[in-house]
Each structure stands twice: as structure tokens, then as C-alpha cells.
Structure 1
Amino acid sequence: MSDHPETPVTPVEAFEPPYYLAVFSTVRTQDQSGYGETNARMEELVKDIPGFLGMDHAQTPGGLGITVGYFRDADALAEWRSHAEHRSAQQRGRADWYERYTLHVAKVERSHGFVRPSG
């Protein structure tokens, strides 16, 4: 979810199914006080969840943010959902940072990727 210009842009790799993903789409409020720090902390915490596979994030010029978290199994996703600091950040998000959001959770049954050969 970080915006680091020096980091090459690359999507999370395709994993062997089945696995789970959580698609979090947001429109944020004008006042984002504390959002960056909390977002960075959530990125640190989720990496410690056994079964966390990775995360993709995109932001449109119009303000739609989409974050996709990938998890090996439903237990890993449930552990993240119930993590105490994550729950607290969710409450703060509803109170301060989001105009609206949607969350979609899905089990991936098919996955593949492509990388253009260099040269």
C-alpha cells in the first residue's frame, strides 16, 4: 500500500490455488490526519500473519483506492480480521478517514501470471 517511487512496480505473483483474497475499495475523506502512520503500521502487522501472501494497491486520480490482500487460507484471513490493532484501525477509518468503502472476500480457484521476457 505504500507509494515508494524507487520500488519497481510489480503485482503480487500468482499463487497455487486455492487461496483467499480480500478486496478493499475506498473513497477517503479530506482529513487524513494520522492515516499514513496507521496505514504503515497495518502493512507491518499483516506481514506477521502466518499465511499472508502479499498485497496490491492502486489509487485512481479520482480518489478510488483499491487494496487486495492475499491469504493462503481462511484462517489467516480471519486472524487478520480479528487482530486487535487492525480492529482499532477499522474503527478509526469509519470515524475519520473513509467516506465509503466496500470489502469483498473471495476464494481463488484459478490463478496465473505473465512476465515479458527481457531483451
Structure 2
Amino acid sequence: MSRHSEVPVTSVEAHEPPYYVAVFTAVRTENQNDFSETNARMEDLVQGVAGFLGMDHAQTPGGLGITVSYFRDADALTAWRTNVEHRAAQERGRAEWYQSYTLHVAKVERSHGFLNGADEAP
């Protein structure tokens, strides 16, 4: 399992819109050789992208994984999409780790949150 289970459960805070989200949903294959290591590398790598705002991840008991990545603007999202190491991991994912996946990209026009009873609207 990835290191997601080792950190406290929190969600990405609300940001001042507009910004972008990439929603990646996937069902994995049984072959997960080197997946955890590559996934950890991608998490470290995306944090270095100027304009990266954060990431939420969830996994269902049935095997559906959902990762939502947040980016300040389209340029930041493009920088991540075209990163050479990320592209190589995508290829390996299609060849080995994913039975199926979908990617949805959207521009966020409204955002607010709730934390300990305090409104978090920017």
C-alpha cells in the first residue's frame, strides 16, 4: 500500500478560484510490482511543480482509487502532464498497473470548506 495510510487524514483546503483539478480514477491490476515506489516518486515530483496546490486520494475496498490533484492554473497542470518522469509512469501504468482509468480535468469556479466548525471560504 502507498504511504497514504501513514499520514493523518486531511483534505486539501479550499483555495481562491479559479483553479484546476485533475480527477484520476483507476482500477488496478493484480500486478503492482514497483507501483508504491513509483507512486511515492510521483507524489514527490508533483510537489515541485510551480502552481501545485495539493492532492487528495481515496481507495475503496473494491479497488477503485481516486486521486484529485489541484493546480493554480492551466500552465501548472500542463507542466505536470508533460513532465518526462510522469509520462514514463503513465506508460507503465497503462502497460502494467491499471485495468482501467479515467481522467477528468475541470476549472473550479467556486470553492469553500468546513474545518472544526469554522467556515473556510477564501
Please give the TM-score of this superposition, normalised by the length of structure 2. 0.92
> Aligned AA for 1:61?
P
| Structure 2 equivalent of residue 114 of structure 1 | 114
Q: Percent identity?
A: 68
Is 1:28 aligned to residue 15 of structure 2?
Answer: no
Consecutive unaligned residues in structure 2, runs of 5 or more = none
Aligned to 1:17: 17
Secondary structure in 2 matching 1:100: strand
Once residues 76 and 103 of structure 1 are traced to their aligned partners in structure 2, the CA distance between those partners, rounded to angstroms, is 16
Partner of 2:100: 100
- Name the counterpart of 1:4: 5
The letter for the 1-side match of 2:30 is: Q
How large is the RMSD of aligned CA atoms in angstroms? Answer: 1.3
SS for the counterpart of 1:57 is strand
Q: Which runs of 5+ in 1 are unaligned?
A: none
State the secondary structure of the residue aligned to 1:30.
coil
> TM-score by structure 1 length?
0.94
Kindly report structure 1 stretches of 4+ aligned residues shifted beyond 4 Å: none
